[in-house]
Structure 1
Amino acid sequence: MKSPSVLESLEKSKEMTKKARREIWQTLSFLLILALLLYYVSSRKPEFFYEPAGKTGSITTSAQNAPEGAKGDFFAEFKISREKIQKEQMDLIKKVMEDEKASPSVREEAHLHYLALVDAMGKELKIEGILKAKGWDSLAFLSGDSCTVVVKTSKLNETDAAAIGDVVRRIAKVGLQNITIIPAP
């Protein structure tokens, strides 16, 4: 018969494996969303002209060459695209959870990933809602212990960045050093 210490170490090993798998899924989800964002931005890159930050420490961008209708489309289009991708992810995870041929450990892992995805979606929605109430249209992307926020603004000063960072820190429970804020006109 196995001693209690061996059983405890086996349980700890299983927990660490589950945690590692969950973090891998979260990272892959974040990278997929980030890849879509980068693809979308890079396909529109010639339309934008970026100005370097001034002496005041602000981050300045400009969309002088963008067509009139294109300035507000990015955020709306990306939110729709993100919703579609998240729905597809959730549907795939549900299929794994409901698959009788899948082992119990795989189904449990899928369930944990599903819960993590729902939690991240809720936090992203809260962040975007609070920032909208404060006057910023934004997109939030959570991945593990980091968050990237794209804010619809041509100029972002340190005070605004601090306010945005505080909202993200409180809701997502991530450190300020793990928050990236990107201004986008």
Structure 2
Amino acid sequence: MRIDLNKLKRLAIITAIVVIPIICVNLINVSLTKNSQPVNQEASNPNPVANTSIKKTKPQENVSIGFFAEFRMERERVRSKQIELLREIANNQTNTQKVRDAAAMRLVQVADTVEKEMQAETLIRSKGYQDCAVIVKNDQATIVLPVRSLDEAHISEITGLTSLTTGLPKNRITIAPRENYR
């Protein structure tokens, strides 16, 4: 078996493009989470978001956290399968160059989407929200928050942050409140 250095270099670059942003965003997320204070410290929290309609009772918070954790795990599982399939296509020498290049480009797009979602989630949580999930698909984004309702100021703030990180216009961003059910 002969190894083509150009193809090996290209594969290394694509892998770096996919992996490095994910690692960086995770490191930023860990450092922000480590330095943040819990949302339930209402008395000392000057953030108006913590004192609005996003307050939840303890049992509901646990249900909500479970939902977001499960959602992230499932999203990661699906993405891992997708990335694995795309890598197989990109590395399969029996595929045409056009197909391999398309798979490589899709890998880069997946990495970009992961980075945008993680950045948006981190920024939204930094504003005092207990948790959230951001789903970026094609030219729109959906944000799921553990709240019953939001006022216009909070909607504008969240869509602005998401627009900033995703590059999408505010009118392509939807916020979906998630009420907790037992």
Q: Normalising by structure 1, report the TM-score.
A: 0.62
Which of these residues, 50, 73, 79, is aligned with residue 72 of structure 2?
79
> Matched residue of 2:128: which SS?
coil
Contact 2:121-2:133 at 8 Å conserved across structures: yes
Tell me, yes or no, if structure 1 residue 112 matches structure 2 residue 121: no
Q: Normalising by structure 2, report the TM-score.
A: 0.63
The 3 A distance-change label for structure 1 pair 109 and 131 is same
Gaps of 5+ in 2: 1-52
Counterpart in 2 of 1:128?
A: 121
The 3 A distance-change label for structure 1 pair 67 and 159 is closer
Counterpart in 2 of 1:176?
A: 170
Which of these residues, 89, 93, 113, is aligned with residue 96 of structure 1?
89
Distance in 1 between the 2:126 and 2:64 partners?
A: 20
C-alpha RMSD of matched pairs (Å): 2.3
The 3 A distance-change label for structure 1 pair 127 and 162 is same
> Matched residue of 1:141: which SS?
strand
Identity of matched residues, %: 24
Runs of 4+ in structure 1 off by over 6 angstroms are: none
Distance in 2 between the 1:106 and 1:145 partners?
A: 23
Counterpart in 2 of 1:167?
A: 161
Contact 2:133-2:145 at 8 Å conserved across structures: yes
Distance in 1 between the 2:60 and 2:142 partners?
A: 26
Deviation, structure 1 residue 71 = 3.5
Q: How does 1:57-68 map to 2 (within 5 A)?
A: none
1:164 is aligned with what amino acid?
I
Contact 2:117-2:136 at 8 Å conserved across structures: yes
Distance in 2 between the 1:70 and 1:127 partners?
A: 22
Counterpart in 2 of 1:156?
A: 150
2:125 is aligned with what amino acid?
K
Distance in 1 between the 2:157 and 2:61 partners?
A: 29
